Amino acid sequence: MWNQIAAHISEITAENFQIENRRSVSGGCINQGYAISNSSRTYFAKLNQASQIAMFEAEALGLQQMLETKTIRVPKPICWGTAGNSAYIVLEWLDLGGRGGDRPWAEMGRKLAEMHRYTPQGGHGGTAPTKGGKEADFGWDINNTIGSTPQINNWTEDWAEFWAEHRIGYQLKLGKRRGGNFPRSETLLTAIPKLLEGYKPQPSLVHGDLWGGNAAVTEEGEPVIFDPATYWGDREVDLAMTELFGGFSGAFYRSYNETWPLDSGYQKRKILYNLYHILNHFNLFGGGYESQANQMINRILS
């Protein structure tokens, strides 16, 4: 397997690469991670079962689209594929673990706002369908994953419809299959169009899973984000998730708002946006996330 991965790297980079050293590193919650290197170059390789190749393909596409914005640093995808029983993705190696105080976090806030503001020429740069000559605004060309849960990205013209059907509604459906009890779920789904009535967010390329574990600073002091669950959506979903589990400094939020201030009503909407992740955590891990989700639903409907 490793010889096949090395050969693929050599083919893509047009530079001969033989793995001389390989060591296990963190690959996130669901993948095995490795640093693979020779005397002059190091790459980051993630492995999973061969059946998960679509997950790595989507990750590579998301990183590539984020790179095209020329804003915030993300690891460059090198290659991906299957070898035997394993799927793999190889990424640029970044030396993480830098600190640097407020400066890199302020830079992260500014560059994230710039990525959110990015609008490619010719639309989303994908195959968004049109309705009556208007491009559907929200979604992505393919489905991807949030953790290991499928994330549905069907192109949708209306943001409230997208969020109700493909985010909250889908997670509630999975939760009920798992045995979860969400007594006010139908009331919530009916209420979402009213809750978001009059709110017309600009479609932004979002990271989609921006918690503290997916953001870091390099040894050189450059902010970087990784492990995306990319789609075109409301930029506030990224900001909301940074608040859900913490880990982002005040300098990050100040800089983001100086670059592109958040719209009024964000404090209410962020609960609705973070409900998606709490429902997903229930579907992944069970436990107390069911109770937390119901508390959030009650707050949203109060």
Residues 110 and 86 grouped into a single domain? no
Q: Is residue 127 scored above 80 in pLDDT?
A: no
CA angle 209, 213, 215 (to 5 degrees): 80
Average pLDDT over residues 39-47: 97
Based on the fold, state whether residues 61 and 161 are members of the same structural domain: no
CB contact at 8 A, 73 and 222: yes
Q: Are residues 126 and 250 in the same domain?
A: yes
What is the span of the domain harbouring residue 40?
2-92
- Identify whether residues 165 and 67 lie together within a single domain: no
Within a domain: 7: yes
pTM metric for this prediction: 0.94
Q: How many domains does the chain have?
A: 2
pLDDT for res 132: 43
- Residue 209: active-site member: yes
Domain annotation covers residue 270: yes
Among 92, 118, 150, residue at a domain's last position: 92
Domain boundary among 31, 65, 92: 92
Q: Is residue 97 part of a domain?
A: no
Residue-level pLDDT at 128: 54
Catalytic residue among 95, 102, 209, 227: 209
pLDDT at 133: 44
Residue 126 has pLDDT above 70, yes or no: no
Q: Are residues 180 and 211 in the same domain?
A: yes
How much is the pLDDT for 131?
Answer: 44
Residue 215 shares a structural domain with residue 290:
yes
Q: In this structure, are 86 and 204 located in the same domain?
A: no
In a shared domain, residues 185 and 207:
yes
